[in-house]
Structure 1
Amino acid sequence: MELNKENIKKIRWLIAFAVILYVGVQHLDVVLKYVKVLWGLLLPFVIGGAMAFVLNVPMAFIERHLFGKAREKEGKAGKAANRLARPVSLVLSIVLVVLVVLVVVLVVAPELGRTLVSVVKKVEEDIPLLQKWLTDTFQSDSEIVKWASTIEIDPQKSIDSIISVLKNGADNLVSSTITVTMGLVSMAVNFAIGFVFACYVLLQKERLGKQVLKAAYAILPVKIVEYLGHVCTLASKVFASFITGQCIEAVILGSMFFVSMTIGRFPYAMLIGVLISFTALIPVFGGIIGCWVGFFLILMVSPLKAFAFLALFVILQQIEGNLIYPHVVGNSVGLPAIWVLVAVTLGGNLMGILGMLIFIPLVSVLYTLFREWVYERLDKKKVKIS
């Protein structure tokens, strides 16, 4: 290699990177400490960026369909539409999200309270029947009958036990309450800062995009900037399509369960319909989670209805998976089924439910970029595989 100025500069950067990497590995605990501090400082802006990305989906839809034609007009009407389109669309998007959350809370909370009360009453009523059946079925002196006779649910005893636990753990309760309160205050502050940041990003997204693009072209080579632009465009498209498709699909599936359960006179139709709508947002495993929760709720009321609910779930899942999901979500994510399972498993193990939602579009972007790279290499080598 010729030692010209350009190569010497590259060697210097490589040596500096190697030294920094070596020092970082030798003092990994210090590095992790500062990384944690840095993450705490950046967390509100990360939250704001995530909120901006989610809110941008309904905002862009409202802006495009509500103000699209008005912005094309000439004169004062067109100028007024251009000036009001973005803030009005943002406000309507925020109101829409808040209304959805309120409706879900107002529907689920009372229904869940009534469900818990009815389940407790049902268990209390069925315990004497269980004890009688065990006594009639087995010998009166058997261990099973002795164990069954000890089962007792007394609400007053439960309340007294809870009060005793609260009294004995008062000191721990106070300290944990302070810790939880500080955590909630910190979370609220981060959320508020993130919300303001998200609103600013959405109101000025074109201007901010141009500023970032100018800075990127000034710092990085042109080819790298163009490739990063391609990656960002692909990621934005895939994530937006995935979020939109999953939300629509979840609403449709929950509505199908609510209507069919109402017609079939199943208990807890509203609660299970809303529950399945939420769990359906989790790819692959979400519907199964909602199914088993609904099964156990109905089982406390009617075992026959519970098994009928399982059959109904299988039928609706087949309809949703084969007819609705391909048309609603389609191939927007562009990820084969085996890689969807891998993405959900990895995301769930690393980040829980949030990881399941994030990793499918993330893996889809990586899969698409890798596929483009493979095809480009095959073209250069003039290899054709059908």
Structure 2
Amino acid sequence: MSFINRNFKVFLKYALCIAAIILIIIRMDRVVSWVGNFWSIIFPLVLGCLIAYALNIIMKFLEKNWFPDSANPVLRRCKRGICLFLSIFMIIGALLLIIRIVVPELMDAFAVIGDEIPVYFEKVQEWVVKNGEMFPTVAESIGEMKINWQELFQKIVSYATSGVTSMLNSAVIFVTKLLGSVVNISIALIFAIYILLNKEKLKSQAVTLENVYLKSSFIRQVNKVVYTAHSCFTSFISGQCVEAVILGILCTVGMFILRFPYAPMVGTFIGATALIPMVGAYIGAVVGAFMIFTVSPIKALGFIVFIVVLQQLEGNLIYPKVVGASIGLPGMWVLTAVTIGGGLGGIPGMLIGVPLAATIYRLIRQDVKERLEKDHKKIYQRSRI
């Protein structure tokens, strides 16, 4: 009878699973809608966990090096709050510094471009007309072109004025989304502060839940994955930040030595974009070359050569030593992780892809090593027999 009851329970469990899968397939539109609504609800909390994880790296460093264990009870109670405040202040200060350096220079560059476009077009038009024998059809067409830039700008203004209603609607939508983002970030930051102030208690509760509801063998596997992922992500974030600072400083100093314009802005921007693995510095280099081009095309070409040389130095010396060694992932798999992560999730996918690939790589390597050791032990035992 017990055998029949056990088989019936197994059958019932599988039947319920199959029914649930069929129901999900039939109501896929509803399921997608529910998942979307649920994600929008929990997104601030997930974002808070990510912020807490990033802040915890800085906070642990401050607690270990700036505020070591003290016998003073007041200092022991205040240490966590002070280190947490300093961590938030350092990140916000770095973001404001980047914005303060980059945005004004970027606006000035776009203003220069707006002033120079008519001049460049007139020069090109004059050169084509002067050398019309090389391509007569193009020269005739361009020579007949009479562009009144003032009239063109007036038409743009009239189009903008006629679309005031749609612009206002778009502005309302933008403000609503902006307020929603501010609210989500505020909730996430508050949630992150709560997590960091009570992280030891939360860890103890998680361990208790593991011991109560999970088997010991499963707990060991879960903890192994969690600790490996934590090690890879922490090493990646720390190494990537150090590498970005080094690259930004080298770029700024090199641009000052070679007398390129916009040295502080371009160096800071390249350092910030270098947080994106492998391709980030090239993104910053494109913006930098574009801005230098507005001053001098020759210097822009020289800047591109300088960035290529600097990237070779960074890719072959700095990145393997600072980031590659810390996460233990070969360069081929770093490129693979960046490509797949970027294709699936854009820039966030690139940032998550490398440490995630490093975690999988390290787990597989450990498993292969353990299996080989077991096989060697079996072979040794058989040889002794």
Q: TM (normalized to structure 1)?
A: 0.90
Mapped contact 2:48–2:188 kept (Cα < 8 A): yes
Aligned residue type for 1:357: L
Q: Which residue of 2 aligns with 1:172?
A: 166
Q: Which residue of 2 aligns with 1:53?
A: 53
Q: Deviations over 1:216-247 (max 9, x none)?
A: 22112122122212211111121111111111
Unpaired runs of 5+ residues, structure 2, are 379-385
CA shift in 2, pair 1:153/1:354, >3 Å: farther
How far has the Cα of 1:120 moved from its partner?
2.6
Q: Which residue of 2 aligns with 1:236?
A: 230
How far has the Cα of 1:251 moved from its partner?
1.5
Aligned residue type for 1:263: I
- Picking from 321, 337, 348, the partner of 1:354 is 348
Q: Deviations over 1:354-379 (max 9, x none)?
A: 11111111121122222223333334
Q: Deviations over 1:62-103 (max 9, x none)?
A: 1111111xx1x43xx1x2232111100000011111111111
RMSD: 2.4
Instruction: Tell me whether 1:266 sits opposite 2:266 in the alignment.
Output: no
Mapped contact 1:258–1:273 kept (Cα < 8 A): yes
- Cα distance in 1, alignment partners of residues 329 and 321 from structure 2: 15
Instruction: Tell me whether 1:321 sits opposite 2:321 in the alignment.
Output: no
Report the count of equivalent residues: 376
Provide the secondary structure at the position in 2 that maps to 1:252: helix
- Picking from 109, 113, 118, the partner of 2:112 is 118
CA shift in 2, pair 1:360/1:147, >3 Å: farther
CA shift in 2, pair 1:328/1:153, >3 Å: farther
- Cα distance in 1, alignment partners of residues 7 and 195 from structure 2: 40
Q: Which residue of 1 aligns with 2:383?
A: none
Q: Which residue of 2 aligns with 1:16?
A: 16
Q: TM (normalized to structure 2)?
A: 0.90
How far has the Cα of 1:315 moved from its partner?
1.7
How far has the Cα of 1:153 moved from its partner?
7.3
- Cα distance in 2, alignment partners of residues 266 and 144 from structure 1: 36
Unpaired runs of 5+ residues, structure 1, are none
Provide the secondary structure at the position in 2 that maps to 1:281: coil
How far has the Cα of 1:12 moved from its partner?
4.3
Stretch moving more, 367-376 or 203-212: 367-376
Aligned residue type for 2:347: I
Q: Which residue of 2 aligns with 1:38?
A: 38
Instruction: Tell me whether 1:363 sits opposite 2:357 in the alignment.
Output: yes
CA shift in 2, pair 1:152/1:263, >3 Å: farther
Mapped contact 1:115–1:268 kept (Cα < 8 A): no
Q: Deviations over 1:257-289 (max 9, x none)?
A: 111111211122222112211221111211222
Instruction: Tell me whether 1:62 sits opposite 2:51 in the alignment.
Output: no
Q: Which residue of 1 aligns with 2:132?
A: 138
Instruction: Tell me whether 1:211 sits opposite 2:192 in the alignment.
Output: no
Provide the secondary structure at the position in 2 that maps to 1:139: coil
Mapped contact 1:235–1:365 kept (Cα < 8 A): yes
- Picking from 96, 100, 104, the partner of 1:106 is 100
Q: How does 1:172-321 map to 2 (within 5 A)?
A: 172-321=166-315
- Cα distance in 2, alignment partners of residues 153 and 263 from structure 1: 43
How far has the Cα of 1:151 moved from its partner?
6.9
- Cα distance in 2, alignment partners of residues 10 and 104 from structure 1: 60
